[in-house]
Amino acid sequence: MLHSRFLASVALSALMLGTLPAASFAETPADTLIQAWSIDDIISLDPAEIFEFTASEIAGNSYETLIGYDPENVSDIFGKAAESWTVSEDGKTISFTMREGRTFASGNPITAEDAVFSLVRAVKLDKSPAFIIGQLGMTPDNVEANIVQTGPMTFDFKMDKAYAPTLVLYCLTATVASVVDKKLVMEHEANGDYGYDWLKTNYAGSGPFTIKDWRPNEAVILERNAAYSGDAPPMARVIYRHIPETATQRLLLEKGDIDIARNLTAVDIKALEADPEVKIESGVKGSLYYLGLNQKNQYLAKPEVREAMKYLIDYTTIADTIMAGKVKVHQGFLPEGFLGAYDETPFALDIEKAKALLAEAGLAEGFKVTMDTRNTPEITAMAQAMQQTMAQAGIELELIPGDGKQTLTKYRARTHDIYIGRWGPDFQDPHTNASTFAYNIDNSDEASAKPLAWRNAWDIPELSASTDAAMLEPDAAKRAEMYLAAQKEVLATGPFVIYAQEIEVFGERKNVEGVIIGPSFNDNNFAHVTK
């Protein structure tokens, strides 16, 4: 077969006229799962630094966090590397006990020493995700006094306030709370860097797979971890190939040269539905699609205009036609599945109502406004749909296309009018989104904290205070109520037009079974995949 392929290629090279029929059925090796994904956003493999979707997923399959939750029912929290925990009476200290008899891929035992080291290391290194632990009162200066080992398999986690236990536990499910192999990492330490230079391209974990190789913009190779304490994964290897072009991914999938395509467009998905060799699986993700209306803009600052904008989005057309199953309509700032999520959708396209609101604001003639739009096909298509519906109410929306980093740079500097964006939660607790959509304690240009509310210059001292309070509420039901109220307020008055929640879609060969598509990328799991 190969020989004929080779000969055929030679013939093709001569004049590109070769017509030798070479019957071959491309197939991936039986013990290897091959995925095509755009993986050029990976900048590090160190759990203390990982924050990108792709790297999070890789860490989720190769490291174990202290705490885990059931991806199908996020409120079911359980210990992963930790076995159990108790909360002190004043609610400020949580004592953890680690699971016995488990080892890292290196063969080193997993102890409380490793857990303490991993958390302290993450806070001390102070990379982007460090705030997930830092927000519980940990700073690089005090963390060693606050996270302390109390026995071979036990340690205490002391906080500055009695934070809601659910908040703390959800924070410890994040990638940044992965347990790393202290002995192995410290063998590679240089200049007090906690082995950071080494770990960002290497591996020191205990998950079902090990990270064997990362070739930037080319591939990531995971291999079955022989020392894994759970059931051995059926797949010996999971390979991510960097295939940036979606049409190429589709061809590879249809041909059987890959098992899973990850970046299919709405058009590809529709076309693949007819292919009997391929199946489409999906899972609701936590990312939200929204418009940020800068309150520095004289028109957008009017409350009636903010409300009118929410009536000028054709929610269902965007979800069902333009994105064709890759998003669902959602309007609250907490994604479906989160504690306290508000799943009602009170707004729908209503041009007349929007016109009335604009007239109330003294803008019956409409106005002109720009929107910084990332130049991907899907964002552009959604933006164009909004341009059309807004025009019907007299709003002339000018789209300014730009590369992702370019539009983001402008957004962060608050020099946009409208920004069409996507926001993914950093961990599974409602505080993650509340602290950005409903929190802004300093609206000055020099502010040190710059949540989304700040980026849109929305000054909300009272709402910020209630967000702070919800963080400390020990009763989960009461806490959920507080977040519901906050979402309703943001929905009614806020400068955010949240219009959809992401659904992640996998195109899979029909023999692939057991893929788990979780609510966040580190929940996407391949440990039970068979084919």
Please identify which residue in 95, 108, 131, 360 interacts with another protein, judged by CB under 8 A.
131
Q: Which is nearer to another protein, 81 or 278 (CB)?
A: 278
For another protein, the binding residues in 190-229 under the rule CB under 8 A are: 200-201, 215-218
Q: Which is nearer to another protein, 389 or 520 (CB)?
A: 520
Instruction: Name the segment binding another protein (CB under 8 A); options: 235-243, 267-275, 309-317, 520-528.
Output: 235-243
Instruction: Give rounded-to-5 percent helix, strand, coil for the chain.
Output: 35, 25, 45
- Is residue 494 within 8 A of residue 510, CB to CB? The reply is no
Binding string to another protein for residues 48 to 77, with x set by CB under 8 A, is what?
A: ---xx-------------------------
Tell me the angle at which helices 303-310 and 351-360 cross, rounded to the nearest 10 degrees.
Answer: 170
Q: Which is nearer to another protein, 149 or 380 (CB)?
A: 380
**What is the C-alpha to C-alpha distance for residues 152 and 427, in angstroms, rounded to an integer?**
29
Instruction: Name the segment binding another protein (CB under 8 A); options: 43-51, 99-107, 393-401, 460-468.
Output: 43-51
What is the CA angle 80-84-89, rounded to 5?
Answer: 135
Please identify which residue in 252, 300, 339, 529 interacts with another protein, judged by CB under 8 A.
252
Q: Which is nearer to another protein, 10 or 492 (CB)?
A: 10
Q: Which of 72, 165, 68, 90 is nearest to 476 (CA)?
A: 165
Smallest gap from residue 248 Cβ to another protein (A): 5
Q: Which is nearer to another protein, 194 or 311 (CB)?
A: 194
Smallest gap from residue 244 Cβ to another protein (A): 5
Q: Which is nearer to another protein, 142 or 201 (CB)?
A: 201
Q: Are strands 396-402 and 496-509 parallel, antiparallel or unpaired?
A: unpaired
Please identify which residue in 161, 368, 412, 510 interacts with another protein, judged by CB under 8 A.
412
Q: How many CB atoms lie within 10 A of CB 38?
A: 17
Q: Which is nearer to another protein, 131 or 367 (CB)?
A: 131
Smallest gap from residue 419 Cβ to another protein (A): 12
Site for another protein contains 40 (CB under 8 A): yes
Q: Which is nearer to another protein, 413 or 492 (CB)?
A: 413
Backbone φ/ψ region at 414: left (φ over 0), alpha (ψ -120 to 50), beta: left
Rounded CA Rg of the chain? 25
Burial status of residue 217 (CB atoms within 10 A of its CB: 0-12, 13-18, 19 or more): exposed
User: 97-100 long-range CB contacts below 8 Å, 24 or more apart?
Assistant: 97/153, 97/154, 98/153, 98/154, 98/155, 99/229, 100/153
3-state secondary structure of 124: helix
- Is residue 315 within 8 A of residue 309, CB to CB? The reply is no
Task: Give the CA distances from residue 476 to residues 67, 135, 339, 345, 406, in Å, rounded to whole numbers and listed in that order.
Answer: 18, 19, 8, 24, 40
Site for another protein contains 78 (CB under 8 A): no
Site for another protein contains 422 (CB under 8 A): no
Please identify which residue in 144, 187, 403, 475 interacts with another protein, judged by CB under 8 A.
403
Instruction: Name the segment binding another protein (CB under 8 A); options: 249-257, 269-277, 338-346, 383-391.
Output: 249-257
Which parts of 413-460 fold into alpha helices (H)?
431-437, 452-455
Instruction: Name the segment binding another protein (CB under 8 A); options: 19-27, 82-90, 158-166, 363-371.
Output: 19-27
- Is residue 404 within 8 A of residue 109, CB to CB? The reply is no
- Considering CB under 8 A, how many residues would be counted as binding another protein? 66
Tokens read off for 260: 């899973």
Residue type, 479: R
Please identify which residue in 130, 159, 334, 512 interacts with another protein, judged by CB under 8 A.
130
Distant-in-sequence, close-in-space partners of 388: CB < 8 Å, separation ≥ 6:
none
- Is residue 33 within 8 A of residue 508, CB to CB? The reply is no
Smallest gap from residue 29 Cβ to another protein (A): 6
**What is the C-alpha to C-alpha distance for residues 435 and 458, in angstroms, rounded to an integer?**
13
Which parts of 413-475 fold into alpha helices (H)?
431-437, 452-455, 461-472
Smallest gap from residue 150 Cβ to another protein (A): 30
- Is residue 328 within 8 A of residue 284, CB to CB? The reply is yes
Instruction: Name the segment binding another protein (CB under 8 A); options: 103-111, 123-131, 315-323, 486-494.
Output: 123-131
For another protein, the binding residues in 435-474 under the rule CB under 8 A are: 448-450
Q: Which is nearer to another protein, 49 or 64 (CB)?
A: 49
Instruction: Name the segment binding another protein (CB under 8 A); options: 202-210, 319-327, 396-404, 470-478.
Output: 396-404
For another protein, the binding residues in 287-346 under the rule CB under 8 A are: none
Please identify which residue in 257, 304, 343, 350 interacts with another protein, judged by CB under 8 A.
257
Tokens read off for 56: 């999070």
Distant-in-sequence, close-in-space partners of 60: CB < 8 Å, separation ≥ 6:
175, 207, 521, 522, 523, 524, 525
Q: Which is nearer to another protein, 40 or 100 (CB)?
A: 40
Q: Report the interface residues with another protein, using CB under 8 A.
A: 2-3, 5-6, 8-13, 16, 18-24, 26, 28-29, 32, 34, 40, 43-44, 51-52, 126-131, 200-201, 215-218, 239, 241-245, 247-248, 251-252, 254-255, 257, 402-406, 408-410, 412, 426, 448-450
